[in-house]
Amino acid sequence: NSVFAHVVRAPEDPILGVTVAYNKDQSPLKLNLGVGAYRTEEGKPLVLNVVRKAEQLLVNDMSRVKEYLPIVGLADFNKLSARLILGADSPAIQENRITTVQCLSGTGSLRVGGEFLAKHYHERTIYIPQPTWGNHTKVFTLAGLIVKSYRYYDPATRGLNFQGLLEDLSSAPAGAIVLLHACAHNPTGVDPTLEQWEQIRQLVRSRELLPFFDSAYQGFASGSLDGDAQSVRRFAADGGECLIAQSYAKNMGLYGERVGALSIVCKNADVASKVESQLKLVIRPMYSNPPIHGASIVATILKDRDLFNEWTIELKEMADRIISMRHQLFESLRAKGTPGDWSHIIKQIGMFTFTGLNSEQVAFMTKEYHIYMTSDGRISMAGLSSRTVPHLTEAIHAAVT
């Protein structure tokens, strides 16, 4: 008898499980709107041309070897990643009071940041938005933090519950960590306006909360790398401290390469260098050092002006296709006369629309229309195309009437 005989089967991951169910479906009509990955108009995964070019350059460079990277990863990659999120003119970079370490995509960056805070920060409570990306709770709990939530989404308006957010952050204990989505909030697609960000910043600073930004969609929301970084830059510019987890999964389409970075903006250079020394102690026993290939692709693109420009164009094309899908779906529902106000589809930004469909309606659409999505009614706009909009419209119409 197995020594593991007592092990009970774990449930599928609620997000990745959608794809498992989709793969089992034999219907030619089936449509997967669960995955958080970009698809072309033909429904295919996309490797950016600029990524192919960078990989070719790397392959042709015979001086490159496969030695271990340092614990903190590729130096160029770290420097350029900080510059990308904070802007080249950032005072934090000029004053050298930031440490950046290469981590395993966004998830790994959040985890390393979480473990560092659990070990070295005086307050263990982290506030995450309600709702948020499903993995946040697990990542931070396992890192050793205590997870609480703040109000974020208002189902009545399908927009931001700004009053609730301010109230909850006002009553958080001084020093508490606050997880903020830098842009394109997942799963709701609802972001604060710049004025609201400014109020959040003032509240966070006056209550001495510690902001931890999750930046998984820079450039993917609006099509502008600088535009999507405004929230983070405001916080980094006020001289206060913060953490930033960056992912290149979506904006460079490097999902499986697991490329990301954790930056900690500190009060001064001395603190930053001590913090970095402790980050190494978090990373070394976890995975020793990060993988080399994806970070080399990113560094190759970020340090070459032509490749960088090419990237911004391809990035904008992805963002624009998603925005166009929003308009097509909205117009299609309107043309069909589907009951309800669907304007949130064009107001929300980023990869996802929080449709407002409930779990019964989602189950109905899966059963009758072979459309797959998470049970909270979140659909990936990137999984949609002009060809599939009518089918989704039919399904939504049937689900709400």
Residues at the interface with ligand PLP (CB under 6 A): 36, 105-107, 133, 181, 186, 214, 216, 247, 249, 255, 260
Closest C-alpha to 50, from 335, 394, 304: 304
Q: Which residue number, 216 or 399, has a Cβ lying nearer to ligand PLP?
A: 216
DSSP-derived 3-state class of residue 264:
strand
Cβ pair 66, 51 in contact under 8 A? no
Burial track 75-108 (b if 16+ CB lie within 10 A, e otherwise): eebbbbbbebbbbeebebbeeebbbbbbbbbbbb
Q: Which residue number, 259 or 333, has a Cβ lying nearer to ligand PLP?
A: 259
User: Shortest gap between Cβ of 153 and ligand PLP (angstroms)?
Assistant: 14
**Whether residue 133 lies in the annotated active site:** yes
Residues 6+ apart with CB under 8 A from 235: 201, 204, 211, 213, 242
Beta strands in 280-370 (DSSP E): 352-354
User: Shortest gap between Cβ of 132 and ligand PLP (angstroms)?
Assistant: 7
Q: Which residue number, 181 or 326, has a Cβ lying nearer to ligand PLP?
A: 181
Q: Which residue number, 180 or 264, has a Cβ lying nearer to ligand PLP?
A: 180
User: Shortest gap between Cβ of 398 and ligand PLP (angstroms)?
Assistant: 29
Residues 6+ apart with CB under 8 A from 295: 69, 73, 74, 77, 102, 259
**Chain position carrying tokens 């980023």:** 350
**Contacts for 364-369: CB closer than 8 Å, 24+ residues apart:** 364/398, 364/399, 365/395, 365/396, 365/398, 365/399, 366/21, 368/395, 368/398, 369/29, 369/31, 369/394, 369/395, 369/398
User: Shortest gap between Cβ of 106 and ligand PLP (angstroms)?
Assistant: 3
Given the residues 168, 191, 214, 228, select the one marked as catalytic. Answer: 214
Cβ pair 382, 322 in contact under 8 A? yes
Single-letter amino acid, residue 154: D
User: Shortest gap between Cβ of 114 and ligand PLP (angstroms)?
Assistant: 12
Given the residues 168, 250, 311, 342, select the one marked as catalytic. Answer: 250
Task: State how far the Cα of 165 lies from the Cα of 172, in Å rounded to an integer.
Answer: 11
Cβ pair 172, 129 in contact under 8 A? no
**Whether residue 191 lies in the annotated active site:** no
**Whether residue 280 lies in the annotated active site:** no
Task: State how far the Cα of 211 lies from the Cα of 179, in Å rounded to an integer.
Answer: 6
User: Shortest gap between Cβ of 14 and ligand PLP (angstroms)?
Assistant: 12
Query: Measuring CA to CA, how many Å separate 364 from each of 195, 207, 233, 369?
Result: 40, 45, 43, 8
User: Shortest gap between Cβ of 385 and ligand PLP (angstroms)?
Assistant: 21
Q: Which residue number, 255 or 369, has a Cβ lying nearer to ligand PLP?
A: 255
Q: Which residue number, 107 or 218, has a Cβ lying nearer to ligand PLP?
A: 107
Q: Which residue number, 152 or 255, has a Cβ lying nearer to ligand PLP?
A: 255
Bridge partners, residue 104, by sequence = 259
The catalytic site residues sit at 133, 214, 250
